[in-house]
Structure 1
Amino acid sequence: MNDFIQFWIQHTPIFSILIPAFTAFILVLLGNPGSGSLAHDWRQPWRRGISYVSSVLGLTTAIIYLTFASSGQITTYNLSEWTAPFGIVLVLDRLSAFMLVLTYSLAVPVMWFASKEWDERGRYFHAMMHFLLMGLCGAFLTGDLFNLFVFFEILLMASYVLLLHGQGKARFQLGIHYVTINLLASAFFLIGLGMIYGSVGSLNMADVARLIPLLEPDQHRIAIAGGLLLFVVFGIKAAMLPVGFWLPKTYAVATTPVAAIFTIMTKVGIYSILRVNGTVFDDAMSKEILQNWLLPIGIITSLYGVIGAMGAERLRRFVGFMILSSIGTILIAISLFNTNAWAAALYYLVHSTIIGAAFYILCGWITSQRGAFKDQLQIAPQMKQHKTIAVVYFLIALMMAGLPPFSGFFGKVFILQATENSPYQILIIVIVLLVSLLSIIAFTRAGFVLFWRATKPEDNPETEAYKAYQALPAQAPKRNDKTIYILLAGLIVYVIASNPVYQYVLNTSKQMQDNALYNQILLKQDEHGQVISIQPFNPEYLPETKYGGETEDPNAHLIPFLIAPNTLSGEHISDFKLQQIQQQHSSVEESNQLKLAEEP
């Protein structure tokens, strides 16, 4: 047992990436006959069982990681045992553990819900869901900017397939738009990374944060421009305006479980803005530019979202606009750039993700009982479960609009409290309260059409309308209502635990802004206490490798500080490299002895 615990601790946190990765590969190898045959395929129960067990295991792992991180401990994992900034490093801190728990807390009920018939509407549904989880977990754990790009691409490729799950012309058309927008964002991502690497010489987040203030003016401007380009990319992912118009229509055409899990996708963009633009680009110029732009962007996004919801003609688009509005509220909090505001943003982020997923699943329930009217906000015959659905809709409306005593209310109160020393305090308070008021009006309008003005169903058995109405289900689709209850119960528990949760996110925001702490833990120092990094960056510098010939490397003596002894003595370090290390180490020792001898 002790050996297992030591193995677990040694390889934390890569398990959160490996669990969904291996699950996805196993599900792909299991095969898939096609959407038309899945209901009768003997492998379908195995797919569901493997998928669900993996999701529960992922949630358990995330909770364990959260307990590790809650003490303030930052755990690092060096891939191939090369430390930062020369190797890829995973970082488990308070923020990444918090996002992992949120991801799996949503994935487990959605996966359970989708395992009743929804997963039979397209091939490789479960495999793509786990590739999506792999990309999400990797994005939250990586400490390297290029690796962040890699995990972005993994989750995006999975999302392309999931968006088309269930087929249909509308999904294909909007899927093309979604792919095109994200390919453009990926191109911008690479350009931004090139600008940062070309001027800084590193893509490790902690190293970039350390080096940016030390750059020459021209290099500094290029690096800042690269960071702002990344901000545009993250803004596209987060669906902030003016690059977020795609969200309401795109999410509206996705199948119900896919739309529900996609509510976490926009939070990857929010997370990246916090992690990269908020802490890596921590110099005065970056902060000034970001503060000047983020507040108006947040205000416009929040207002546009709620106004769009008021005018939405379909319930699914209504949900998309409300999610857009909540993103604007989170951006307003981030723009304040203080620990209390960031803590409030993180608290509200969880609420907006879970309630958005619950609302999309409610849309599936409503659609199933409205027949040809589907989710259109038009007067239709009364739903067979109209009383139960109305109560659930009312609860979701209260939560999403931010009314007491629910988590949305607490999140907005935390944000308003964080404006205490802001010169824009009055403006932010007015906008947040105005958005809440408009949200109530929007929910009232939609509820008025769905419930209050619903007509009595046809009672003449000889009419086609009577037959069509009687053919509609009298119960919610399988697991649909239960999944909503689970998510809403989770938000109620979230309110009850608001004090410890807020203390956790407050400590999280403090930890995020402590760049010196990350430098101390992630970056190695030589015998003189200097951080081992390449600065100033020399683009012509090419270290000798096992497969690159015998090239002199002036920095070979630093290698023993960067890798484990077993790796240093392994087969991937050439004899020529070891000889350079020994010679340079001897020269350094002789130089130190001469300096000591010369001292009086």
Structure 2
Amino acid sequence: MNDLLHFWHMHTPILSILIPTFTAFILILLGNPGSGSLKHDWRQPWRRGISLVSVVLGLITAVCYLIQANSGQVFVYNLSEWSAPFGIVLVLDRLSALMLVLTYTLATPVLWFASNDFDERGRYFHAMFHFLLMGLCGAFLTGDLFNLFVFFEVLLMASYVLLLHGQGKARFQLGFHYVAINLLASALFLIGLGMIYGSVGSLNMTDVARLVPTLQPAEHKLAVAGGLLLFVVFGIKAAMLPVGFWLPKTYAVATTPVAAIFTIMTKVGIYAILRVNGTIFDDALGQMSLMIWLLPIGLITSLYGVIGAIAADRLRRFVGFMVLSSVGTILIAISMLNTEAWAAALFYLIHSTLIAAAFYLLCGWITSQRGVFKDHFKIAPKMKQDKTIAAVFFIIALMMAGLPPFSGFIGKVLILQATSYFPYQAWVISIILLVSLLSIIAFTRAGYILFWRATAPETNPQEEQYQQYQALPDRAPRRNDSAIYVLLTALIVYVVCANPVLTYMQNTATQIQDNALYESTMLKKDEHQNVISVLPFDSHYVPETKYSEAKDENAHYIPYLVPSDTMNGEHISEYKRKQIEHQKISQDNVPDESLLKSVEH
């Protein structure tokens, strides 16, 4: 048991990434016939079983991480045993643990629902689903900006395939647009990283946050410009205006479980804005730039989303516009740049993700019972389960519009309370209240068309409409309604536990603004208690490799950066060991400033 606990602590938090990664590879190795053969393929039950066991294991792991992170300790995992900022690190704190639990809380019922028959409509559904989870977990856990880019690409590659799952002209057409937009965002991401690295000399988040305030004016402006470019990239991922027009149509053509799991995708962009723009570039210029741009963008996005929902011609697009509106509300809270507002933003983020996923699942239920009318806002015969569906729609409408006593109402009240000393308080309160009113109008319109104005079904057996109506299912698609009930129950529990949840959110908001905590936990110090950091880029520097030897003025730092077992092993060359020992016994242990060219000066 002690060995198991030691293994757990030793490899926290990389297990959350390895679980979906190995699952995806195992599923690929199982092979996959054409989509038309999946129903009769003997391996399909194995795929479903392995996939579901993996996602449940991921959920258990995420909950354990949440319990660990609630202690306030920041857990750091050094890949290849090299400490930051020279090595790539994974960081488990309250925020990353929260996002992991949200990811798996959503993924578990969605995958369980998809394992009924949706996974038979295209090849490698389960493998791509777990590659998506791998990218999401990696993005939430990484402490390195370039690794954030890598995990973004992993989850995007998986999302490209999942969006096209089930085939169809509309999916291919909008999938092409989705790919093109994200490829542009990826190019901008790399440019922004280059600007930051060129001015700071590091891409470790904690190290960049430490060094940015010490830069010369010209370099500081370049770094902030790179940060703002990343803000645009994250804005595309979060679907904020004016770079979020793609979301309603794109999500509307995805299959029901894919659209439901995609609700977490916009939250990755919001997470990145909070983690990178909100905490790394938190000096005066960075915060001023963030508030100047983020507040009006949030206000406009929130208002535009609800107006688009009122004008929507399909229920799936209606949900997409409401997702846009919720993104705007979260961005408004983040733009206030205070702990109370950020805690409120996190509280509302959890609510908006789960309720949007439940709404997309409801769209699948409604579509199955409306036949040729699908989810279009057209007058159609009553659905066979119209009372049950209407009740679920009503509950979702109350939650999503932000009416009491549900979590949406609590989240919006918390945001309004956080505006106490905000200079643009009137704007924030006015827009949030107006959006809530318009949301009620939008849901009233949708419910009026779908339920109140529904006509009586045809009763003459000789009519074609009668045969079409009788052919419709009497019940929801298998597991569809159950998955919705699971998500709605989770949101009700969320309200019941609002007090401890809010305490956790407030502690999270406080922790992510404490750069000194991350610096003391992640970065190493030398014998003089100076942080060991990176050097500016030097084109003449030749690193020592296995097959070459080069003089290293900073060899004496190595014992501080790698574990003792590695130092005593065979990975440190004899040439490097001699340099370390020579510098240790040297009269001058502190390297010449002209050699270090430290970016702090």
Same fold at TM > 0.5: yes
Q: Which residue of 2 aligns with 1:56?
A: 56
What is the CA distance between 1:548 and its match in structure 2?
5.7
User: Any idea what SS the aligned residue of 2:90 has?
Assistant: strand
Q: Which residue of 2 aligns with 1:553?
A: 552
Indicate yes or no: 2:247 matched with 1:247.
yes
Where do 1:328-367 residues align within 5 Å? Answer: 328-367=328-367
What is the CA distance between 1:425 and its match in structure 2?
1.1
After superposition, the Cα gap between the structure-2 partners of 1:145 and 1:311, relative to the gap in structure 1 and judged at 3 Å, is same
324-333 vs 426-435, which moves further: 426-435
Q: Which residue of 2 aligns with 1:282?
A: 282
Indicate yes or no: 2:71 matched with 1:71.
yes
Deviations 1:3-60 (A, max 9, x none): 0110110110000000000000000000111110111111000000000000000000
User: Any idea what SS the aligned residue of 2:113 has?
Assistant: helix
Where do 1:7-406 residues align within 5 Å? Answer: 7-406=7-406
Contact 1:546 1:573 (C-alpha < 8 Å) held by counterparts = no
What is the CA distance between 1:357 and its match in structure 2?
0.2
What is the CA distance between 1:511 and its match in structure 2?
0.2
After superposition, the Cα gap between the structure-2 partners of 1:376 and 1:430, relative to the gap in structure 1 and judged at 3 Å, is same
Contact 2:544 2:551 (C-alpha < 8 Å) held by counterparts = no
C-alpha distance in 1 between matches for 2:377 and 2:348: 28
Where do 1:520-599 residues align within 5 Å? Answer: 520-535=520-535, 537-540=536-539, 542=541, 544-547=543-546, 549-588=548-587
Contact 1:78 1:84 (C-alpha < 8 Å) held by counterparts = yes
Contact 1:185 1:233 (C-alpha < 8 Å) held by counterparts = yes
Q: Which residue of 1 aligns with 2:599?
A: none
C-alpha distance in 2 between matches for 1:72 and 1:116: 40
Contact 1:131 1:154 (C-alpha < 8 Å) held by counterparts = yes
| Amino acid in the other structure paired with 1:374 | K
What is the CA distance between 1:541 and its match in structure 2?
5.8
| Amino acid in the other structure paired with 1:13 | P
C-alpha distance in 2 between matches for 1:580 and 1:40: 65
Query: Runs of at least 4 residues of structure 1 off by over 6 A?
Result: 589-592
Deviations 1:175-207 (A, max 9, x none): 000000000000000000001001100000000
What is the CA distance between 1:550 and its match in structure 2?
1.1
C-alpha distance in 2 between matches for 1:540 and 1:548: 20
Q: Which residue of 2 aligns with 1:419?
A: 419
User: Any idea what SS the aligned residue of 1:280 has?
Assistant: coil
Q: Which residue of 2 aligns with 1:450?
A: 450
Contact 1:319 1:359 (C-alpha < 8 Å) held by counterparts = yes
Q: Which residue of 2 aligns with 1:480?
A: 480
| Amino acid in the other structure paired with 2:546 | Y
Q: Which residue of 2 aligns with 1:598?
A: none
User: Any idea what SS the aligned residue of 2:457 has?
Assistant: coil
Contact 2:86 2:534 (C-alpha < 8 Å) held by counterparts = no
What is the CA distance between 1:539 and its match in structure 2?
2.5
| Amino acid in the other structure paired with 1:106 | L
Deviations 1:185-233 (A, max 9, x none): 0000000000100110000000000000111111111111100000000
What is the CA distance between 1:571 and its match in structure 2?
2.8
After superposition, the Cα gap between the structure-2 partners of 1:541 and 1:527, relative to the gap in structure 1 and judged at 3 Å, is farther
Contact 1:341 1:414 (C-alpha < 8 Å) held by counterparts = yes
After superposition, the Cα gap between the structure-2 partners of 1:57 and 1:110, relative to the gap in structure 1 and judged at 3 Å, is same
What is the CA distance between 1:588 and its match in structure 2?
4.9
| Amino acid in the other structure paired with 1:273 | I
C-alpha distance in 2 between matches for 1:493 and 1:68: 21
Q: Which residue of 2 aligns with 1:595?
A: none
C-alpha distance in 1 between matches for 2:253 and 2:552: 56
What is the CA distance between 1:589 and its match in structure 2?
6.2
Contact 1:323 1:356 (C-alpha < 8 Å) held by counterparts = yes
Indicate yes or no: 2:512 matched with 1:512.
yes
C-alpha distance in 1 between matches for 2:284 and 2:478: 54
Indicate yes or no: 2:492 matched with 1:492.
yes
What is the CA distance between 1:61 and its match in structure 2?
0.3
Q: Which residue of 2 aligns with 1:436?
A: 436
C-alpha distance in 2 between matches for 1:501 and 1:541: 53
Contact 1:366 1:389 (C-alpha < 8 Å) held by counterparts = yes
Contact 1:546 1:574 (C-alpha < 8 Å) held by counterparts = no
User: Any idea what SS the aligned residue of 1:77 has?
Assistant: strand
User: Any idea what SS the aligned residue of 1:90 has?
Assistant: strand
What is the CA distance between 1:555 and its match in structure 2?
0.7
C-alpha distance in 2 between matches for 1:534 and 1:473: 64
C-alpha distance in 1 between matches for 2:590 and 2:466: 96
C-alpha distance in 1 between matches for 2:113 and 2:359: 14
C-alpha distance in 1 between matches for 2:269 and 2:587: 46
What is the CA distance between 1:413 and its match in structure 2?
0.5
C-alpha distance in 2 between matches for 1:287 and 1:156: 29
User: Any idea what SS the aligned residue of 2:25 has?
Assistant: helix
C-alpha distance in 1 between matches for 2:153 and 2:145: 13
Contact 2:302 2:325 (C-alpha < 8 Å) held by counterparts = yes
C-alpha distance in 2 between matches for 1:491 and 1:270: 20
C-alpha distance in 2 between matches for 1:212 and 1:382: 61
| Amino acid in the other structure paired with 1:346 | L
User: Any idea what SS the aligned residue of 1:370 has?
Assistant: helix
Contact 2:402 2:412 (C-alpha < 8 Å) held by counterparts = yes
C-alpha distance in 2 between matches for 1:220 and 1:569: 40
| Amino acid in the other structure paired with 2:138 | G
| Amino acid in the other structure paired with 2:560 | F
Contact 2:212 2:223 (C-alpha < 8 Å) held by counterparts = yes
> Identity of counterpart residues, as a percentage?
73
Q: Which residue of 2 aligns with 1:471?
A: 471
| Amino acid in the other structure paired with 1:78 | N
Deviations 1:430-470 (A, max 9, x none): 11010000000000001100000001111110011110011
| Amino acid in the other structure paired with 1:418 | A
C-alpha distance in 2 between matches for 1:121 and 1:516: 50
Contact 2:583 2:589 (C-alpha < 8 Å) held by counterparts = no
User: Any idea what SS the aligned residue of 1:188 has?
Assistant: helix
C-alpha distance in 2 between matches for 1:397 and 1:588: 73
Q: Where do 5+ consecutive residues of structure 1 fail to align?
A: 593-600
C-alpha distance in 2 between matches for 1:579 and 1:308: 68
Contact 1:83 1:562 (C-alpha < 8 Å) held by counterparts = yes
Q: TM-score, normalised by structure 1?
A: 0.97
Contact 1:83 1:524 (C-alpha < 8 Å) held by counterparts = yes
C-alpha distance in 1 between matches for 2:488 and 2:541: 56
C-alpha distance in 2 between matches for 1:35 and 1:269: 32
User: Any idea what SS the aligned residue of 1:264 has?
Assistant: helix
Contact 1:544 1:577 (C-alpha < 8 Å) held by counterparts = no
Q: Where do 5+ consecutive residues of structure 2 fail to align?
A: 592-601
| Amino acid in the other structure paired with 1:141 | L
Contact 1:52 1:112 (C-alpha < 8 Å) held by counterparts = yes
What is the CA distance between 1:546 and its match in structure 2?
2.5
C-alpha distance in 2 between matches for 1:16 and 1:388: 38
What is the CA distance between 1:407 and its match in structure 2?
0.3
User: Any idea what SS the aligned residue of 2:421 has?
Assistant: coil
C-alpha distance in 2 between matches for 1:162 and 1:179: 12
Q: TM-score, normalised by structure 2?
A: 0.97
User: Any idea what SS the aligned residue of 1:37 has?
Assistant: helix
| Amino acid in the other structure paired with 1:194 | G
C-alpha distance in 2 between matches for 1:440 and 1:517: 43
Contact 1:301 1:328 (C-alpha < 8 Å) held by counterparts = yes
| Amino acid in the other structure paired with 1:500 | P
What is the CA distance between 1:572 and its match in structure 2?
2.8
| Amino acid in the other structure paired with 1:575 | E
C-alpha distance in 1 between matches for 2:534 and 2:16: 31
C-alpha distance in 2 between matches for 1:331 and 1:591: 46
C-alpha distance in 2 between matches for 1:543 and 1:245: 47
